[in-house]
Amino acid sequence: MSTSDAAQIQAGDTPAPGAPAATTPAPRPRPALSRLPRYVAGQPPVVVEGLTPYKLSSNENPFGPVPAVREAIAGWDAVHRYPETTSAELREVVGEHLGVPPEDVVTGAGSLGALNQLLGAFVGTAADGTPDEVVHAWRSFEAYPISIGLSGGRGVPVPNRRDGSHDLEAMAAAVTDRTKVVLLCTPNNPTGPSLTTAQVEEFLAAVPRDVVVVVDEAYQEFQRRDDLVDGIETYRRHANVVVLRTFSKAHGLAGLRIGYSVAGQGITPYLRQAAPAFSVTDLAQRAAIASLRHIDQVAERVQRVVDERVRVLAGLEDLGWPHPETQANFVWLDLGEHSGRFAELCDTHALSVRRFGDEGVRVTFGEPEANTRFLELCARFPHPPVL
Ligand code: PMP
């Protein structure tokens, strides 16, 4: 091989057909990467002539943000400046909104960013090289195993109960002296059930106080039952609790990537230390502030989604379609081996839903017309889910 040929084979290039196998060393990622599942984002709907397409695959807010958000970001022209790194003004407004000290709030690029900050701060390998453990329910938010694996830790997934709820007894039993963090997801994405205050208090009493317990409340605003856990009340009582909240769902700001954690002073300084600099843009901060300042309008939009939830769940009941209880903006259909056929049926009618292999399908409550079409498709589908 001439030197010019050799120069053309860059590390990582695929050799041309028939060329000798490249012996040039190629960059290799951490072994953990090959074991990580890939994140499958909800797909946009297929375009079908004559039908308005609807995306019911990503648990987004179909009504978008309140008008004040659009006004707040419309004239933004400081894109050449780095953002303010501490989100000071937003943390003041969040603090006022929740009745918590602003210094307990740490913002992130979405609540997923806030979670990654937490894992970066608390999870890695022990002094003897063994990975730290993170206990979480499964199925749950599909980013968990990826974020845990990237942190260097080992995920300990605990199967949900048959009704899609966390098996808290089994989760408490899975905690060992290697466990650094437990993730509670309430309501649980993608299955739906929420945890009650009593369940979480009992769980916290069974878990050592040096284990960080995360209460991921991405869908908190859509809940309507009085007995459900309120992460903010819980963090006030327990120094090892971290609450995750987001502007992506109720506030309709998923595309701007902004969320936050709330935790006590025994935890927040580490979260701040682990936060990548400048990951939360000023644009997102302005939007979040505008949304919180118009919280009544946000609440109206959330209520429209909740009203649609009530209507869709009643429709499913009429059809005899069972589902786990949901206080979120989505419903889980345990369609098993029929999941693919149901997702295809939705595709051919310009609705995108989120299929999870041969386990089931998650459907977001969307615009009223989308929900009506979804119910019509359920009525035509010959294999109802099981529970
Ligand atoms: N937690 C849960 C349970 C979620 O479902 C999601 C989004 N799908 C997130 C966290 C992350 O949301 P974001 O990063 O947009 O705030």
The confidence score (pLDDT) of residue 10 equals 38
Taking the centre of ligand 1 as the mean of its atom positions, its distance from the CA of residue 98, in whole angstroms, is 19
- Note whether 166 and 138 are within 8 A (CB): no
The confidence score (pLDDT) of residue 11 equals 38
Determine phi and psi for 184, rounding to 5 degrees.
-105, 130
Taking the centre of ligand 1 as the mean of its atom positions, its distance from the CA of residue 178, in whole angstroms, is 26
Looking from the CA of residue 109, the nearest atom of ligand 1 is 14
Determine phi and psi for 7, rounding to 5 degrees.
-65, -25
Ligand 1, pocket-test mutation among 112, 195, 247, most atoms within 8 A of CB? 112
Taking the centre of ligand 1 as the mean of its atom positions, its distance from the CA of residue 118, in whole angstroms, is 14
Q: Which CATH number fits domain 68-293: 1.10.490.10, 3.40.640.10, 1.10.1370.40, 3.30.930.10?
A: 3.40.640.10
Q: Which residues line ligand 1 (CB under 6 A)?
A: 59, 110-112, 141, 185, 189, 216, 218, 246, 248, 254, 259
Counting Cα atoms < 13 Å in the Cβ hemisphere of 87 gives 31
Per-block mean pLDDT, blocks of 10 residues, the chain (387 long): 36 48 83 88 91 97 97 91 96 98 98 98 95 98 97 97 98 98 98 98 98 98 98 98 98 98 98 97 98 98 98 98 98 98 98 97 98 98 94
The residue ranges of every structural domain in the chain are 54-63+296-380, 68-293
The confidence score (pLDDT) of residue 4 equals 37
Task: Please check whether the two domains, 54-63+296-380 and 68-293, share a CATH topology.
Answer: no
CATH of domain 54-63+296-380: 3.90.1150.10
| Residue 243: closest CA among 118, 135, 150 | 118
Distance CA(56)–CA(207), nearest Å, equals 37
Specify the pTM. 0.93
The confidence score (pLDDT) of residue 5 equals 35
- Note whether 180 and 153 are within 8 A (CB): yes
Taking the centre of ligand 1 as the mean of its atom positions, its distance from the CA of residue 52, in whole angstroms, is 27
The confidence score (pLDDT) of residue 6 equals 35
Ligand 1, pocket-test mutation among 147, 248, 354, most atoms within 8 A of CB? 248
Q: Is 174 exposed, middle or buried (0-12, 13-18, 19+ CB in 10 A)?
A: middle
Protein residue with least CA distance to atom 11, ligand 1: 112
Taking the centre of ligand 1 as the mean of its atom positions, its distance from the CA of residue 246, in whole angstroms, is 7
Question: 3-state SS of the chain?
Answer: CCHHHHHHCCCCCCCCCCCCCCCCCCCCCCHHHHHCCCCCCCCCCCCCCCCCCEECCCCCCCCCCCHHHHHHHHCCCCCCCCCCCCCHHHHHHHHHHHCCCHHHEEEECHHHHHHHHHHHHHCCECCCCCECEEEEEECCCCHHHHHHHHHCCEEEEEECCCCCCCCHHHHHHCCCCCEEEEEEECCCCCCCCCCEHHHHHHHHHHCCCCCEEEEECCCHHHCCCCCECCHHHHHHHCCCEEEEEECCCCCCCHHHCCEEEECCCCCHHHHHHHCCCCCCCHHHHHHHHHHHHCHHHHHHHHHHHHHHHHHHHHHHHHHCCCCCCCCCCEEEECCHHHHHHHHHHHHCCCEECEEECCCEEEEECCCHHHHHHHHHHHHHCCCCCCC
- Note whether 373 and 349 are within 8 A (CB): yes
Distance CA(89)–CA(291), nearest Å, equals 13
- Note whether 246 and 276 are within 8 A (CB): no
Distance CA(116)–CA(143), nearest Å, equals 10
Taking the centre of ligand 1 as the mean of its atom positions, its distance from the CA of residue 28, in whole angstroms, is 30
The confidence score (pLDDT) of residue 39 equals 87
